[in-house]
Chain A
Amino acid sequence: MDGRQSFFLSIALVSYVVRIWAMSTGYHRYFSHRAFRTSRFFQFLLAVAGTLTIERGPLWWAAHHRHHHRCADQEDDIHSPTVQGYFWAYVGWMHCKKYSAATDYTRIKDFSRYPELLWIDRYYVVPPLVASVLIWVLAGPAVFVWAVLVGTIIQWHALFGSNILCHLLGRRRFDTPDTSRNNAVSAVLLLGEGWHNNHHYYPGSARQGFYWWEVDLIYYSIKLLEKCHLVWDVREVPEDVLLRGRYHAAVGSAAQ
């Protein structure tokens, strides 16, 4: 592989990692679960960064995700592979009029009081469009292909795939009322988001890899942001939850 090949593959990789980070840190752990606190300015930056994933606005995403947690793997779940099937859980739900319609702000009242978030939620296409045009103009069409097109598609499939992988394959440490599982492959691909059974058991924590061997790069990045005073009040996993997890590990998984 020569330098040019490595360059373009690296661009796709960086584009992928940046967007997975934005989705997981912003849309998921902050807007959906309020796993840490931050300033209004940094909150807006997280929202803008999340739109680069081209998965609609932060409030739309978080509102649906909160609903997913309320009724995971039940009839009303928006993307359950065990209830609605694999294709639906993978991409079907995103392109269904019932869910792609306007954001249900009653599900996300806490963030709906910020006009700038309402704006970015409505005009979520603006940041990715501007970024795409800038990349094309400043770096050329070849960089655009790998940074925007390839990076976006790999990230889409990694994120959508987790809806299936993390509810079908992996270990169940905690006996949750859904089918969530800790999936190591997803955890690697999504920088720590694959410890899904942990997450469904205690969704409020900024940490999804509960133990040192469950690598969670997103959590480490949040701790780094905390050290830089950009975020604070990072919510940790309570000691009794960790002890319960160790107990289940010692006597066998909660339910395989």
Chain B
Amino acid sequence: MKAVEANEIDTFSATFVVVFHLAAIAGILWTGVNLFF
């Protein structure tokens, strides 16, 4: 089994967080248009 190198990035975890942020921004823009304008 390949040893995990120090500080090797967990691609799935990092991608999830990035996608989550993008979804939140998209959601804020979508609801924001309806709510605030």
Contacts and interface: CB of A to CB of B under 8 A. Distances in A.
Contacts of A153: 20-21, 24
A91 interface: yes
A191 interface: no
Contacts of A141: 27
B31 A146 contact: yes
Secondary structure of the B contact surface, majority rule: helix
Contact of B4 (A8, A88, A98, A156): A98
Interface residues of A, number: 23
Given A96-B8, A98-B8, A142 B17 contact: no
B27 A150 contact: yes
Q: Which 4 A-B pairs have the closest CB atoms?
A: A145-B27, A149-B24, A95-B14, A100-B10
Nearest to A96: B7
A94 interface: yes
Interface of A is mostly: helix
A7 B24 CA distance: 17
A208 to B, nearest CB: 27
Indicate the member of A100, A101, A141, A149 with the most B CB atoms within 10 Å. A149
A119 to B, nearest CB: 21
Interface of A: 4-5, 8, 88, 91-92, 94-98, 100-101, 141-142, 144-146, 149-150, 152-153, 156
Contact of B35 (A4, A92, A96, A149): A4
A97 B6 CA distance: 8
A149 B17 contact: no
B24 A96 contact: no
A96 B27 contact: no
Contact of A100 (B13, B20, B24, B28): B13
Given A145-B24, A145-B28, A149-B24, 19 more contacts: A5-B35, A5-B36, A8-B31, A95-B10, A95-B14, A96-B10, A97-B9, A97-B10, A98-B6, A100-B13, A142-B31, A142-B34, A145-B27, A145-B31, A149-B23, A149-B28, A150-B28, A152-B20, A153-B21
Contacts of B23: 149
A179 B14 CA distance: 28
Contacts of A88: 7
A38 B23 CA distance: 38
A194 B10 CA distance: 29
Nearest to A149: B24
A95 B17 contact: yes
